[in-house]
Amino acid sequence: MRVVYPGTFDPVHYGHVDLIERASRRFEAVDVTVFRNPAKVPTFSTEERVEMLRAAVGHLSNVTVSSFDGLAAAYARERGADALLRGLRPVLDFDFEFQMGMMNRKIAPEVDTIFLLTSPQHSFLSSTLIKEVAMFGGSLEGLVPEGVAERLRRALGAAGADRGSRPGRRT
């Protein structure tokens, strides 16, 4: 069985890696695919996100990493996938993921959506929160794979005194 795990992965974090590792034990082939989401402005280019993912999951022989611009269901059909894989964090994701799963089923009825619950130790992770922690100079230890933390710090800049007056949430 082939499964496609689509996402923006901006950046990849240990919650993503955990889902990919678990999927690799359950499926013959896992195609992790970096998608462009027009609703998001990514910190990293598609090529950088693919590169970071490849480094993070290179130890898994049945996992490939690619990119695609379009609909996840259409990509899954094109790749001959049996299913799309999605991760669910407690409460936070269900409504959105359910709606997206139904739309994907409408587009490609032969491709199921399979949900894996996020492991408890990663249930609070989101790329958005991780970028915020990096922006304000917080520790990224245990949140992102090796190499991603340094890339984030370079991309977002070191925390400075002028950031203290910046509007928005703080973690």
Residues with catalytic annotation?
Answer: 16, 40, 89, 127
Helix, strand, coil in percent for the chain, rounding step 5:
40, 20, 40
1, two tokens: 């069985």
d(CA 79, CA 73): 10
Angstrom CA distances, 165 to 153, 160, 170, stand at 19, 10, 11
